[in-house]
Structure 1
Amino acid sequence: MAPKVLVSDKLSETAVQIFRDRGVDVDFMPDLGKDKDALAAVIDQYDGLAIRSATKATEKLLSRATNLKVIGRAGIGTDNVDKEAASKAGIIVMNTPFGNMITTAEHAIAMMFAVARQIPEASASTHAGKWEKSKFMGVELTGKTLGVIGAGNIGGIVCDRARALKMKVIAFDPYLGEEKADKMGVEKVELDDLLARADFITLHVPFTDQTANILSRENIAKLKKGVRIVNCARGGLVDEDALADALKSGHVAGAAFDVFKTEPATDSPLFNLPNVVVTPHLGAATTEAQENVALQVAEQMSDYLMTGAVTNALNMPSVTAEEAKVMTPWISLSGHLGNFIGQMTDEPITAINILFDGTVSDMNLEALTASTIAGIMKKANPDTNMVSAPVIAKERGIKISTTKQDKTGAFDGYMKVTVVTSKRERSVAGTVFSDGKPRFIQIKGINIDAEIGAHMVYTTNEDVPGIIGLLGQTMGKHDVNIANFTLGRSEAKGEAIALLYVDEPVPAEALKELEGAGMFTQVKPLSFDVA
């Protein structure tokens, strides 16, 4: 059955058609997002939810979304989505950070011009029939120093446009490397240096614990006298009260704001101050940008629902369509390895280490790690998936570590998962053969070659005669057909293991019979999600 998507905000008909063309069943109800009760009543019918800003994906709504797999936000901001609740529910949250980059960057440049030349005030004065030419004395951008806080996607475009205007550009961004800064033609500086030197400052960072109030009262006091500040990023990055005071005192010459701490902004300390330009969050408000993000979110959601490709996800590693084709059997293997070790472990896990050897070490390790953790967590919560598992592991204080290495053995690539508890360490390794089927290749350090089936039985024992006969006889007695039988041992007469792949779950009576035979140290039924 085709996956089903609800579009609850205003997306273009072209975007809606993309879902249909990709084989996705879509309901286009652009006003439903405004009615939270009506939305909650139907949300459990959908695999995907496509939204703009009107729909609020709250924890309460998501608790009703029992079939939801992905939320796609047409735009960059996801303040209207409870991402923590979505992650715990295993729902991918996607945005479209690139569709409105040009538009937002252009708005920042336009706002810079507007505040430099006092264009809104001059326009209003002239409309009123005044001719106050001497009142609106502006400043040139050419030759001025622009301080860019955040030189990522949008900030990088602003840097490029500013350099074309012959401005000197300095940037504060902890993630900007010296080589990239040189390539961009900007000078990388610390924040205090930027505050002291910049004639204009523009902000292009998300709102996080680290960036909240980055232009605080204390930092505003450090600004060069006569500076002009532009914020087209997020409200809450600037202390609006402190900025208003600095504008009134003349320490700051002007400001241009498209975003505010509280939106819709019907009141602000910045309103009605001279040489303050304000717009109602228009950064992405162009016809081109609105269409671009709508088309992108439809493509991204369709790709995920139809092929498993993950693009621009905020709570899960991205996996391209090309990667998905190559990685699908390895994703399956990593889940099986985690599931095996999770079913074998009864005490609380304190640490998980995953070793990637050979060809697999060059793949998307974040995705494989998430899949492994999900497999481990399924014993405690069968609904755990690649989105929710890392969140659960973090909440439980489980330390996750990964190691990658060049090919070391007979296999082109393999994975080994080790879990640590207060009592023991337990490990299992596996690979994907040329037929695309995952195999277990080592358990407890004992080499094996075991095909993975939906129903399996794992036993440990001393390497003595009669084990194979006893297992076969017991399964036959209880009418359980053995599809595959794998044995392994550490050494002759040492510890031995067996993995039986059977056609149906083994009855409890058969397991008790094996346990009571006095020949096994462990008898464990296992189950795996095998397509």
Structure 2
Amino acid sequence: MTKPKVLISDKMDPNAERILKERGCDVDVITGKTPEELKAIIGQYDGLAIRSATKVTQEIIDAATNLKVIGRAGIGVDNVDIPYASAKGIVVMNTPFGNSITTAEHAIAMIMALARQIPEANARTQAGEWPKNGFMGVEVTGKTLGLIGAGNIGSIVASRALGLRMKVIAYDPFLTEERAVEMGVEKVDLEALVTRADFITLHTPLTDETRNILSRERLEKTKTGVRIVNCARGGLIDEAALKDMLDSGQVAGAALDVFAVEPAKESPLFGSPNFICTPHLGASTTEAQVNVALQVAEQIADFLVTGGITNALNVPSLSAEEAPKLKPYMALAESLGSLVGQLAHGSLPKISIEVEGAAAHLNQKPITAAVLSGLMKHHSQSVNMVNAPFLARERGMEVREIRNEREGVYHTLVRVTVATSLGDRSVAGSLFGAGAPRLVEIFGIGIEADLDGHMLYIVNEDAPGFIGRIGSLLGEAGINIGTFHLGRRDAGGEAVVLLSVDQAIPQDVVDQACKLQGVKTVKALTF
């Protein structure tokens, strides 16, 4: 039997090569190739192990005629065209937890460096000065640390900060009160965090929701003299606004390991008072590099030799026999989770996934994982059906699975129910025709709709003329309606409208829709 061939194209700990060979793979370590040189050789390999230097573009993927798996030693996969790899049937994996401690420790080091102005004091002392009276630092003991993002890395930072006798407050849309108590932090909303914190540190991925999460408006609301650390992702802070706040003294200091544009050869922040920066060193320790190399090698070998899938970003963990049956259910489940995630406000401490009828005879774990993946994907690009259950447990979410073999109105049904401040809210879907997923109920109102592309969700009073008003509004905005789905509790009561449209709906159009007569809620959705 021919051994699978794996190419390691970036510098990596030598243990990766050793593990791949021990587990039955042939390995070539060829680093530093140009894209054209990589294209010329990639076709002979079944697996590709990379770090951040190799860019796996459409051109590389097209040339990779035998490639089955790409393994990224680290978290970020910005250098891989995941949608195109998925279309070509290539599994993309990362190692999301191999450098958590290292990144958390770097954030703590940045906090201490800011508090005592260590880099500038060091530079001036080595320049022959003795500026003993020129640096007045602050203690971290007793100060309030505001944690934006309380996942794996954020929770480690919280633990270290508590050891320094700091008070920790945390904002995370998935952090429950129970998990906050377990971590020893106070759960707060984002606005409270920016106004109360003496130090702010960010530990969240970069998504549409988190981009510029520390905007100019929020930076202006911070406590005078706040110190800000970002060792997560560039783009989470409005860098131009941060520059202005440093110059004015509103922000007493900032330490960035990441920038919106990297490599950051120039930045408006360079030269700002009390500004510290490092060149994306969060994961740069010997231990972290060994950990991610070992993990990516193990994952690639397991997939190529035994078919096991771990930490994949574009496929769930499934056996070959289960996959064809579960695929349409997982598409349905992910859409239902995405719908709940986009409509819910605040944290979701409890969620139940119920399968009924034909669905009750299937493996429910992938269905549950798909719901959780859909629920959290709008807050994290790295969430997938493999790591979603772990992330839910990490945030203290209580996930309940219910199996009901009776057949109701629909021969098969998946229902997702979440606990909110207003009580339990549920959505349900079924499979129509040749396994086509369809929403059949939303918050107790029957409605049949496809969940796909760009949509507009509206809750309104059931009254004559509304359909015309919303149609006119969208028409005037140049937005074409694809489908129109309507459900209501009873005549003249509360109604739900789901519109599919041909393009993303601008916020100003959503704002105008909110002002229409009888409208209670409007939300733009994306699937």
Q: 1:91/1:355 Cα in 2 relative to 1: closer, same or farther (>3 Å)? A: farther
Q: Is the 8 A contact 1:147 1:202 kept in 2?
A: yes
Deviation at 1:16, TM superposition (A): 0.5
Give the corresponding residue for 1:439. Answer: none
Structure 2 contact 413–430 (Cα < 8 Å) conserved: no
What is the aligned partner in structure 2 of residue 89 from structure 1? Answer: 88
Structure 1 residues 356 and 26, CA, compared in 2 at 3 Å: closer, same or farther? farther
CA positional deviation for 1:361: 3.9
Which residue is equivalent to 1:420? 432
1:31 shift after superposition: 2.2
Displacement of 1:289 in angstroms is 0.7
RMSD over aligned Cα atoms: 2.9
Aligned partners of 2:145 and 2:201 also within 8 Å: yes
SS in 2 for 1:364: helix
Q: Is the 8 A contact 1:11 1:30 kept in 2?
A: no
TM-aligned CA deviation for residue 84 of structure 1: 1.7
Query: What is the aligned partner in structure 2 of residue 364 from structure 1?
Result: 366
Partner of 2:21: 20
* TM-superposed deviation, 1:404: 6.4
**What is the 5 A alignment of 1:217-366?**
217-317=216-316, 319=317, 327-331=319-323, 334=326, 357=359, 360-365=362-367
* Larger gyration radius, structure 1 or structure 2: 1
CA distance in 2, matches of 1:290, 1:361: 36
Please, which of 398, 403, 406 is the counterpart of residue 405 of structure 1?
Answer: 403
User: What is the one-letter code of the residue matched to 2:128?
Assistant: G
How far apart are 1:368 and its partner, in Å? 9.5
Rounded Cα–Cα distance in structure 2 between residues aligned with 1:214 and 1:418: 37
Bigger shift: residues 144-153 or 79-88: 79-88
Aligned partner of residue 303 in structure 2, secondary structure: helix
> Do the aligned residues in 2 keep the contact of 1:334 with 1:415 (CA within 8 Å)?
no
1:331 touches 1:368 (CA, 8 Å); kept in 2?
no
1:358 CA drift (Å): 5.2
Contact residue 357 and residue 405 of structure 2 kept, 8 A: no
In structure 2, what is the Cα distance between the partners aligned to 1:368 and 1:123?
Answer: 51
**C-alpha displacement of 1:70:** 1.1
Q: Could you tell me whether the CA contact under 8 Å between 2:257 and 2:280 is conserved in 1?
A: yes
**CA separation in 2, counterparts of 1:201 and 1:26?**
44
Q: How far apart are the structure 1 equivalents of 2:224 and 2:369?
A: 49
Q: How far off its partner does 1:328 sit? A: 4.5
2:457 maps to which residue?
none
Secondary structure at the counterpart of residue 322 of structure 2: helix
CA displacement 1:94-136 (0-9 Å, x = unmatched): 1111111000000000000001100001111111121111111
- 3-state DSSP of counterpart to 1:85: helix
SS in 1 for 2:7: strand
Structure 2 match to 1:206: 205
Pairwise CA distance, 1:314:
1.5
- Contact 1:94–1:314 under 8 Å retained in 2: yes
Counterpart CA distance in 2 for 1:55 and 1:142 is: 43
Q: Are residues 42 and 194 of structure 1, via their aligned partners in 2, closer, same or farther at CA, if it must alter by over 3 Å? A: same
TM-score, normalisation: structure 2: 0.65
Alpha-carbon contact 1:360-1:415 (below 8 Å) kept: no
Q: Secondary structure of the residue that 1:154 maps to in structure 2? A: helix
Query: C-alpha separation between the residues in 2 aligned to 1:114 and 1:225?
Result: 19
Contact 1:149 1:202 in 2 (8 A): yes
Checking the alignment, whether the CA contact within 8 Å between 2:231 and 2:280 is kept in structure 1 is yes
Identity %: 58
Look up the equivalent residue of 1:243 and give its one-letter code: L
Number of the residue aligned with 1:29: 30
Question: For the structure 1 residues 179 and 134, does the alpha-carbon distance in structure 2 shift closer, same or farther, using more than 3 Å as the test?
Answer: same
C-alpha distance after superposition, 1:458-502 (max 9, x if no partner): xxxxxxxxxxxxxxxxxxxxxxxxxxxxxxxxxxxxxxxxxxxxx
Query: How much does 1:355 deviate?
Result: 5.8
What is aligned with 1:160?
A: 159
Q: Partners in 2 of 1:272 and 1:333 — Cα distance?
A: 59
Q: What residue identity is the alignment partner of 2:403?
A: Q
Task: Give the equivalent residue in structure 2 for 1:191.
Answer: 190
**1:12: Cα distance to partner?**
2.0
For residues 391-439 of structure 1, give each alpha carbon's deviation from its aligned partner in whole angstroms, at most 9, with x where no partner exists: xxxxxxxxxxxx9634569xxxx99998535xx9899xxxxxxxxxxxx
- Residue aligned with 1:49, SS: strand
Going from structure 1 to structure 2, the CA distance change for 1:415 and 1:363 (only over 3 Å counts) comes to farther
Q: Distance in 2 between matches of 1:224 and 1:285?
A: 32
- Partners in 1 of 2:196 and 2:116 — Cα distance? 21
More off after superposition, 165-174 vs 41-50? 41-50
Q: For 1:36, give the aligned amino acid.
A: P
1:340-368 deviations in whole A, cap 9, x for unaligned? xxxxxxxxxxxxx9965556444433689
Structure 1 residue 336 displacement after superposition: 12
Deviation at 1:173, TM superposition (A): 0.5
Q: In 2 relative to 1, CA 231–91 (structure 1 residues): closer, same or farther, beyond 3 Å?
A: same
When residues 360 and 275 of structure 1 are mapped into structure 2, their CA distance, relative to the original with a 3 A threshold, is same
Ranges in structure 2 where 5+ consecutive residues have no aligned partner: 331-354, 372-383, 386-400, 415-428, 438-527
Contact map agreement 2:358 2:405 (CA 8 A) in 1: no
Number of corresponding residues: 367
CA contact (8 A) 1:51 1:71 kept: yes
- CA gap of 1:87–1:366, structure 2 versus 1, over 3 A, is farther
2:83 and 2:51 map into 1 onto residues whose CA distance is 19
**Which whole-Å CA distance do the structure 1 matches of 2:430 and 2:130 have between them?**
78
TM-fit CA distance, 1:306: 1.5
Cα 1:333–1:243 shift into 2, 3 Å: closer
Write the deviation string for residues 187-236 of structure 1: whole angstroms up to 9, x where unpaired.
11111010100000000011111111111111111111100000001111
Amino acid at match of 1:9: D
1:139 aligned residue? 138
Q: Distance in 1 between matches of 2:365 and 2:313?
A: 20
For 2:67 and 2:135, the matched residues in 1 are separated by 55
Given residue 246 of structure 1, which amino acid in structure 2 is its aligned partner?
M
Other-structure match for 1:458: none
